[in-house]
Amino acid sequence: MRELLAKEAPLPASCATDNHVIQQIAELLARGQLHLHARKAEARVLGGTQVEEQGVPFPISQHQPRSSQSPPGVIDPPTFPPQADLPAQVAALVAAAAEGMPLCLECRKVNSAAVAA
């Protein structure tokens, strides 16, 4: 894999960690800059007996096209409750920032106590 990455990437693959090499190969595959093609396995004779031809994990003949439907979207719950007065909250945050005051109520209490002392 390092030799393959060295042909495609500007950085020397010999200096990269194994995880970095795998990440880089995955990125090249995802961007379509690297294509891998499998060769058909051949039956071989070892010690006088013929070895069975091994099947391919995902044969192209059994390939199914992707469905045109997109997966259902994830619906995030709302961040603020429906009764939240967002313009008032924004105004309070802007005013606190302009005054240099803490935004957290507890921090504001500590800051007010320190200023009063």
Kindly indicate the confidence band of residue 10, based on its pLDDT and cuts at 50, 70 and 90. Answer: low
With respect to residue 49, please indicate whether it lies within any of the assigned structural domains.
Answer: no
Looking at the 3D structure of the chain, how many domains does it have? 2
Average pLDDT over the chain reads: 75
Report if residue 104 sits inside a domain: yes
For residue range 11-23, what is the model confidence (pLDDT) as tens digits?
665 677 888 888 8
The percentage of residues in the chain with a pLDDT greater than 90, rounded to a whole number, is 0
Domain that holds residue 20: 1-40
Mean pLDDT of 86-108: 80
pLDDT above 70 as % of the chain:
76
The pLDDT assigned to 14 comes to 63
C-alpha distances (whole Å) from 2 to each of 19, 36, 39, 61 are: 11, 15, 21, 31
The pLDDT score that the predictor gives to residue 97 is 84
Please give the Cα distance from 53 to 97 (Å, whole number): 72
